[in-house]
Structure 1
Amino acid sequence: MHNAGEGWATPQQERGETTRKAILQAALQLFLRQGYHATTIRQIAGAAGIVPGAVYNHFTGKEAIYLALLHEAGVYAAIGRALAAASGDSVETLMRDGAYRLLAALKAHSEVMPLLFVDVLEFETRNVVALAAEALPHIVSFFSRLAALGAETGELKPVRPDVLARAFLGLFVSYFFTVRFFSRVVGQFPGLDVNADVVDDFLNILAHGVLRSADNKE
Structure 2
Amino acid sequence: MANLENRQKILAAAQGLFFKQGYHGTTLRDIGRDAHVSMGGIYHHFDSKEAIYLSLLETASQAFDFSGLLCLLTDAAFPHNLAEVGRFIAKAIRANKPFFKLSYVDILEFQGRHMRFTIDTLRHTIAQVTQGALQTQMASGRMRSLHPAIVTRVILDIYLHYFLEEAMLDKSLADQIGVSEDDLIGQMEQILLFGVMTPTAGDTAAAASPASFAARN
Q: 1:212 aligns with which of 189, 195, 198?
A: 198
The yes-or-no answer on 1:49 pairing with 2:36 is yes
The amino acid that maps onto 1:84 is: L
TM-score normalised over the length of structure 1: 0.76
The amino acid that maps onto 2:47 is: T
Name the counterpart of 1:103: 90
Name the counterpart of 2:53: 66
CA distance in 1, matches of 2:162, 2:90: 9
CA distance in 2, matches of 1:17, 1:153: 59
CA distance in 2, matches of 1:69, 1:63: 10
CA distance in 2, matches of 1:104, 1:32: 21
Cα gap change, 1:77 to 1:112, in 2 (>3 Å) = closer
CA distance in 2, matches of 1:116, 1:105: 14
Deviation by residue 1:118-175 (Cα, 9 ceiling, x = unmatched): 1111111111112224534642344225414524654322232221222022101111
Name the counterpart of 1:8: none
User: Alignment RMSD, CA only?
Assistant: 3.0
For structure 1, the 5+ residue unaligned runs are 1-13
Identity %: 26
Count residues in correspondence: 199
Cα gap change, 1:23 to 1:134, in 2 (>3 Å) = farther
For structure 2, the 5+ residue unaligned runs are 203-217
For residue 185 of structure 1, report the CA deviation from its aligned partner: 9.6
For residue 88 of structure 1, report the CA deviation from its aligned partner: 4.0
Contact 1:42 1:52 in 2 (8 A): yes
The amino acid that maps onto 2:196 is: V
Alignment of 1:1-218 (within 5 A): 14-74=1-61, 78=65, 80-86=66-72, 88-136=75-123, 138-151=125-138, 154-180=141-167, 183-184=170-171, 188-189=175-176, 195-214=181-200
The amino acid that maps onto 1:212 is: T
If asked which structure has higher relative contact order (CA below 8 Å, sep 6+), I would say: 2
Deviation by residue 1:58-108 (Cα, 9 ceiling, x = unmatched): 212112211221121117953x32322216433344333322222221121
Name the counterpart of 1:11: none
